[in-house]
Homo-oligomer: A and B are copies of this chain.
Amino acid sequence: MPNKETELIVETKTWRFAEPPHLLQLRCGGSLGPIDVAYETYGELNADKDNAVLICHALTGDAHVAGRHHPDDEKVGWWDIMVGPGKPVDTKRYFVICSNCIGGCKGSTGPASTDPVGGEPYGLNFPMVTVEDMVRVQKEFVKNCLGVDKLLCVIGGSFGGMQVLQWTIDYPEMVYSALPIASTSRLSALAIAFDEVGRQAIYSDPHWKNGDYYRDEPPHRGLAVARMIGHITYLSDRSMHEKFGRGLQDRNKVGYDFGPPDFQVESYLRHQGDSFVQRFDANSYLYMTKAMDYFDLVSDYGTLIKAFESVKSKYLLISFTGDWLFPSYQSREIVRALQANAANASFCEIESEYGHDVFLLENRAIENVIKNFLTNCQNGIREKK
C-alpha cells in the first residue's frame, strides 16, 4: 500500500514557446516552433532559488520521473526509487524538475506532433534535433517558465548524461553541479551499430511508410524488434544469466517449433517489445537514436579537453563495471579531460555486473553516492553565499 504521508501525486504540465514567427533555430539548420515542453516538478523552489535539481531522461523516458498521476495509478514514475520525499533526490529538500525532450513522444513536440504547416503530423518533416537543441529547450524552459537561473544539479543517466554534459558546456553559469551517470562523450561504433540495426528494423516494417503512418496502423513489429535489440544492450551476460539462464517458459521441454517461446529470455524480450510499442512512437525512436549517435563532444570541439575549457560545474561521474554499452573507460576519458582543465571532477565506478540499465534499479551504492553528492553540493552553494 502506498504511504499517504510520503506519496507524491504529480501532474504533467505543458509550457509553450517559440511561437511563430519566433522559431527556435536548430543545429541542423532547420527551425522549430511552436514548441511544447511537457514537464513535471516536485517539491518547492526555496526563496533563494538555489535548490533546483534538473533530471534529464534517457532515450525513451519522459517527464514523469516519480510518484503517481492518480492515487490509484499502478505504475510510478521511471526513477521513483531515487526521487521523492526522503529519497536520495529528496523532494522535501530539492525542487526537482524533469521535462520531456523535444523529438520524443510524451507531450513535448516531436514527429507525432502537428506540423503548423499543413496541419498534419510532422512525420519525417520534423527537423533533426540534437542533444544541443534539446538542452537549449530545457534551458529556455527552466529560465522562462520556472524562473530558475541556476540549477543546484543536473542529473541524468545514459542519453540523459549526454544532456548533463552539454548543459555544463553550453550554460556553465547555470549549472552548479553535474551528475552524468553511465554516460559518454560520444557513442562507440558498437553502440551506433545497435542503434542503426534498430532503425533498420523500423524502416523494414511496411507500416512505417517513410514515417507517414499516423492515420494508419503504426510500425509496431519493427519498433518491437528495435526495442528488443536495445533491451539486450541494457543488460549483461551475467544479469541475463541470473535472471533467466536457460530456464524454459511455461514448459518442461523445448517445443521443437517456431511457436510460443521456448526460453524465458525469449518470452521476456517479446513482452518488452510488445509493451514498448504501446507507449512509444517509432518516429521518435528514430529521432532520439539519431540524436544519440550524432552527439560527439570530441568532433564538436576538436578535443575533449577543449570541449570542457569553459566549464564551471562541480562534477561527479558514475559508471558501472558491467556496462558494456557505455563502458567505464568512456566516463574515465571525460574525467581526465575535465581534470586537464582543472575542473572539480570526481569519478565513482560502481561494481555492478547488471549492465547499463542498473541506475534505474534499486542499488544502495548508487543511492548513497547521489544523496551525498547532492548534500555536499547544497552545503557548498550555501557556504559560497
**Using a CB–CB distance below 8 Å, which chain A residues touch chain B?**
28-29, 124, 127-128, 186-190, 192-194, 196-197, 199-201, 203-206, 211, 221-222, 224-225, 228-229, 232, 235-237, 240-241, 243-246, 254, 256-258, 261-266, 269-270, 273, 286, 290, 293-294, 296, 299, 324, 327
Contact = CB atoms under 8 A, between A and B. Distances in A.
A235 to B, nearest CB: 8
Nearest to A211: B258
B240 A221 contact: no
For A124, A243, A246, the residue with the greatest tally of chain B CB atoms inside 10 Å of its CB is A246
Dominant secondary structure at the A interface: helix
A246 B197 contact: no
A208 to B, nearest CB: 10
B262 A188 contact: no
Given A246-B186, A324-B237, A200 B273 contact: yes
A327 B197 contact: no
Nearest to A233: B232
Contacts of A270: 196, 200
Given A269-B197, A293-B262, A241 B189 contact: yes
Contacts of A128: 256-257
Contact of A228 (B124, B197, B232, B327): B197
Residue of A128, A199, A204 contacting most chain B CB atoms (<10 Å) = A204
Number of copies: 2
Given A245-B189, A299-B246, A222 B237 contact: no
10 contacts: A124-B258, A127-B256, A189-B246, A193-B266, A196-B269, A197-B232, A200-B228, A203-B258, A204-B205, A256-B294
A211 to B, nearest CB: 8
User: Counting chain B CB atoms within 10 Å of each CB, which of A221, A254, A258 scores highest?
Assistant: A258
Nearest to A187: B246
A286 B258 CA distance: 8
Given A28-B256, A222-B204, A225-B201, A293 B263 contact: yes
Contacts of A246: 186-187, 189, 192, 296, 299
A237 B327 contact: yes
A236 to B, nearest CB: 8
Given A190-B235, A193-B232, 14 more contacts: A29-B256, A128-B257, A189-B241, A189-B244, A193-B269, A196-B261, A196-B266, A197-B232, A200-B228, A204-B205, A204-B221, A204-B224, A211-B258, A237-B327
The winner among A128, A194, A224, A229 for most chain B CB atoms within 10 A is: A229
Given A199-B258, A201-B225, A189 B293 contact: no
A292 to B, nearest CB: 12
A265 B221 contact: no
A57 B171 CA distance: 56
